[in-house]
Amino acid sequence: MRKYLSKLLCIVLTFNLIASASILVSTAPAQGESLNITYEKFKNMLNGAADIAESMTSADRVFLYNLAKGYFEENAGIDFLIDVVKEGAFDSFEILNSNEDLTEYLTTYKSELIFALSFIRSIEEDEEESVRKAAFDKITEKKAYSPLNSSQLKALNDTYKLYFDENFRTTLKEVHEIDAPVLFNLISCLKGMFVVTDKSSDRDKIALKSINSGFEDRLEENLEKHFTSINGKSSAYGKEVLAAVVDILNGATDSQIGNFKTLFKVLNMYEKYSSSPTPSPSPSPSRDVRPARPPILVPSSEPVVVPPPAVDEQARAVVQNFSDFEPSRWSTPYVSALINRNIFRGYEDNNFRPQQGITREELAVVLVRALGLESRLENLEDPAFADMDDFGDWSKKAIALLTQMQILRGYEDGTFKPKNVISRQELAVILARALSKEAGDVSVDFADKGSIASWAENEIKKVYALGIIRGYEDKTFQPGSSVTREEVAAMLYNFMFTENLL
């Protein structure tokens, strides 16, 4: 019976992740194995799942959906399903004895199901409520994903029709009141996990742009348990694996890929390729609410060296309060210094998540604290962006203030994209806007300077000259990489030192 649920879950979950993240598409069943998967195999997997679901009775479909929902809300439930699929313990469940097609399906797509489950397990759970549970709840309540304009709805329905035949769609709609906009809620749990863009060599295709570092770590941890590689990419490198998975969708036609991009964009998970992307600013306020400071010129041909905070027992004691933070980490003094100033905080699960990326809305809140502007939040109105439904109530005031000050800006389509993970070059630009000091002329000679976007070059040079952001030991800057929470702590400390805010 549990195995049966795994099947149904594949049906529903699969569709959603196909539109937003070809996530359910690849993996290997046993440790040490590798898997190669094609776009056609992915389509066959979806079609087979739909055929079996359509052959079930209405009561069986409802029962199995509710069963799946319960398992998917917690990691322990997903772990159980992985074990069942991996061991092929189908004889243990009476319902499978009467459905040979289902047993054959589970055996045929054993590898893909294990990957799908491992991938879903990598999606972060909110400290208060599982994002997976929230997605399933909306399906149960028959809520259509909103907002969807006419062109987005068309892209969604065209994608739905591409992978599921008319009989199956009719059954879900007429018997269960479920259609594509309702199913699309499942993709919402992927927000903030990664972003895709156009392939630089062929703009009609899709490529991975960035990945949340925390999601990448969890993906590596979960996938390495079962296989060595996917489509030739080592499971030890989550970003490469995800890039390979995303590339599978490029087996579709260009018009179909265009629909994928539209759906990714609905979730703020797609950004059009540009050699010099320039977000447009939000409306300017009548005055800058930041305290005025006279510019200070720092005449230097070499980058400023900001002295690090002390690494002492007090600093180690602070980080020891987090279950996932070793006091020996390089970032201990920086994290400790900002924790003591209540600028950074941990999570309710007693973790700090040092290697997790930071989103635009999280950075807004932290930066307001670093600038000492919390007293200015009380009477602010909420910001006016097209994607306000994606904002956390806890971040709206901070975003409103920093967009007024032009430190943060919205995008040309009227959105803010609060769940997007900040890259290193984006953080450099944001911190440069917040600076009152001017930098001297220094030479910036990173090994990968050709990868730095033109819109970020001057700002990176400025924060580098002031000692706020440095490169890596291999002489790279890695401008497009997600910046981690511990890296943000170090950069904010250097920023506050520079601005005399410590």
Q: Decide the pairing of beta strands 296-298 and 437-439.
A: parallel
Per-residue pLDDT at 178 exceeds 60? yes
| Percentage of the chain modeled with pLDDT above 90 | 23
CA dihedral 408, 410, 411, 414 (to 10 degrees): 180
Least confident of 169-173, 276-280, 362-366: 276-280
Arithmetic mean of pLDDT, 200-215 = 84
Q: Are 227 and 34 contacting, i.e. CB atoms less than 8 angstroms apart?
A: yes
Per-residue pLDDT at 286 exceeds 50? no
Q: Decide the pairing of beta strands 270-271 and 194-199.
A: parallel
- C-alpha–C-alpha distance, residues 480 and 497, integer Å: 25
The average confidence (pLDDT) of the chain is 79
Q: Which two tokens stand for residue 139?
A: 């399906």
- C-alpha–C-alpha distance, residues 269 and 189, integer Å: 12
Q: Where are the domains of the chain?
A: 2-271, 296-498
Q: Are 411 and 279 contacting, i.e. CB atoms less than 8 angstroms apart?
A: yes
Arithmetic mean of pLDDT, 316-340 = 91
Beta bridge partner(s), residue 421: 359
Per-residue pLDDT at 217 exceeds 50? yes
Arithmetic mean of pLDDT, 377-395 = 88
127-160 confidence digits (pLDDT tens): 445 677 778 888 888 888 877 888 889 999 998 8
Give 423's DSSP letter: B
Per-residue pLDDT at 97 exceeds 80? no
Q: Is 328 exposed, middle or buried (0-12, 13-18, 19+ CB in 10 A)?
A: exposed
| Per-residue pLDDT, 310 | 84
CA dihedral 404, 374, 413, 143 (to 10 degrees): -150
Q: Are 39 and 256 contacting, i.e. CB atoms less than 8 angstroms apart?
A: no
Q: Which of 402, 347, 393 is nearest to 371 (CA)?
A: 402
- C-alpha–C-alpha distance, residues 50 and 164, integer Å: 7
Least confident of 30-34, 113-117, 133-137, 399-403: 30-34
| Per-residue pLDDT, 495 | 94
| Per-residue pLDDT, 32 | 56
Q: Which of 118, 446, 156, 422 is nearest to 303 (CA)?
A: 446
| Per-residue pLDDT, 94 | 55
Q: Are 81 and 117 contacting, i.e. CB atoms less than 8 angstroms apart?
A: yes
3-49 confidence digits (pLDDT tens): 333 333 343 343 333 333 333 333 334 445 787 777 777 777 777 77
- C-alpha–C-alpha distance, residues 363 and 350, integer Å: 20
